[in-house]
């Protein structure tokens, strides 16, 4: 694996935005910005020997900073934090103290996805980004130091290793929000085939907030245990926007999802140490621009957002999402392409 760091010439709050390219012996390439830890390209050979980009995004950093894009803002390819998904009413308590944050999706109005991260030196060809989130940012307590390391293996695995420490108890639930489409011509992902080893999904209220109840997938549209086309059972106007509890030991690296697309011959496998995968088929995706300048429409991508239980900080039965001083938050997620 090799790396190449390129200046974009853009600055935010005095910090320079760089693009970092990781390549491997197969000729594959991943491009990552230190703004929002955005993965903007993941180019591999498909089943026909053609180079194909499987990630939605823009040709350059300007696309991600465009006002029209930010007005719609689908979180294309970014890291999400301090807390991914939804916290009910933006309220939670730690050690008897109540906190109220502004109600929003994915960690606040200006979460980790809108920060310029520091690029740390590494010994091997990889990219390690660091962001220090000050106490009180988006109403979260504690100074939180987060490091995210990207590696591209010679087996076309994009490996994401997360670590975080804090000086005061704080909620944390990080994920990455890459949008995938394995068809080289893009379009609706309903024909992609998906398998998910998840026997239960998490009940959500009308605002997509997890209630704490687990529901068996058997006999529902959420049953992907044996694999099926994504569009086989969905409501074509709604798609999927649902969290699934993975059938693996807590904290162990295991399969979260496996997606294939017939025309390209590509297969995406997602592995994670996290207990939950949120599966989203981009109902709200709507951009005027894109890499091919045709824009993106709803249901033209899918996301597998590996994470802890959404709203877990308010559900005592779920594993804790509170990080305390002296502890280290750690998780690994792997996106593996093959044909």
Q: Is 178 annotated as a binding residue?
A: yes
Q: Is 179 annotated as a binding residue?
A: yes
Burial status of residue 134 (CB atoms within 10 A of its CB: 0-12, 13-18, 19 or more)? exposed
Q: Is 104 annotated as a binding residue?
A: no
In DSSP terms, 21 is beta-bridged to 4, 31
Q: Is 106 annotated as a binding residue?
A: no
Q: Is 92 annotated as a binding residue?
A: no
**Token pair of 281, please?**
């088929």
The SS3 of residue 90 is: helix
List 192, 300, 305, 308, catalytic entry: 305
Q: Is 35 annotated as a binding residue?
A: no
Alpha carbon separation from 29 to 2, 25, 198, 269, 332 (Å, rounded): 9, 10, 31, 17, 20
Q: How far apart are CA 186 and CA 53, in angstroms?
A: 10
Beta strand pairing call for 29-33 and 39-45: antiparallel
Active-site residue, 21 included? no
Active-site residue, 177 included? yes
List 106, 177, 192, 278, catalytic entry: 177
Cα 288 to the chain's mean position, in Å? Answer: 22
Alpha carbon separation from 21 to 11, 129, 328 (Å, rounded): 19, 13, 28
Active site positions, annotated: 177, 305
Binding-site residue numbers for beta-D-galactose are 85-86, 177-179, 241
Binding-site residue numbers are 85-86, 177-179, 241
């Amino acid at each position: 694996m090799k790396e190449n760091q390129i200046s974009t010439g853009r600055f935010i709050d005095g910090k320079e935005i760089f693009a970092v390219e990781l390549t491997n012996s197969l000729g594959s390439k991943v491009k990552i910005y230190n703004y929002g830890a955005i993965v903007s390209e993941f180019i591999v050979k498909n089943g026909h020997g053609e180079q194909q980009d499987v990630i939605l995004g823009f040709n350059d950093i300007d696309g991600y900073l465009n006002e029209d894009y930010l007005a719609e803002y689908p979180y294309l390819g970014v890291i999400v934090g301090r807390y991914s998904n939804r916290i009910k009413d933006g309220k939670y308590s730690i050690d008897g103290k109540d906190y109220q944050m502004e109600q929003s999706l994915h960690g606040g109005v200006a979460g980790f996805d809108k920060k310029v991260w520091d690029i740390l030196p590494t010994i091997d060809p990889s990219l390690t980004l660091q962001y220090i989130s000050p106490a009180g940012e988006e109403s979260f307590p504690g100074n939180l130091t987060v490091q995210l390391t990207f590696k591209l293996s010679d087996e076309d695995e994009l490996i994401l290793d997360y670590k975080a420490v804090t000086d005061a108890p704080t909620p944390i639930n990080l994920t990455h929000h890459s949008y995938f489409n394995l068809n080289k011509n893009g379009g609706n992902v309903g024909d992609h085939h998906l398998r998910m080893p998840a026997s239960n999904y998490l009940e959500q209220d009308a605002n997509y907030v997890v209630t704490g109840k687990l529901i068996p997938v058997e006999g529902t549209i959420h049953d992907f245990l044996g694999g099926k086309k994504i569009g086989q059972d969905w409501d074509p106007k709604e798609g999927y926007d649902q969290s699934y509890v993975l059938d693996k030991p807590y904290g162990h690296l295991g399969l979260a999802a496996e997606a294939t697309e017939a025309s390209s011959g590509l297969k995406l496998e997602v592995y994670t140490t996290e207990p939950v995968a949120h599966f989203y088929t981009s109902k709200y995706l709507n951009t005027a621009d894109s890499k091919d300048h045709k824009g993106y429409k709803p249901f033209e991508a899918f996301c597998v957002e590996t994470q802890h239980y959404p709203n877990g900080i308010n559900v005592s039965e779920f594993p804790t999402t509170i990080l305390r001083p002296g502890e280290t938050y750690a998780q690994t997620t792997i996106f593996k392409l093959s044909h």
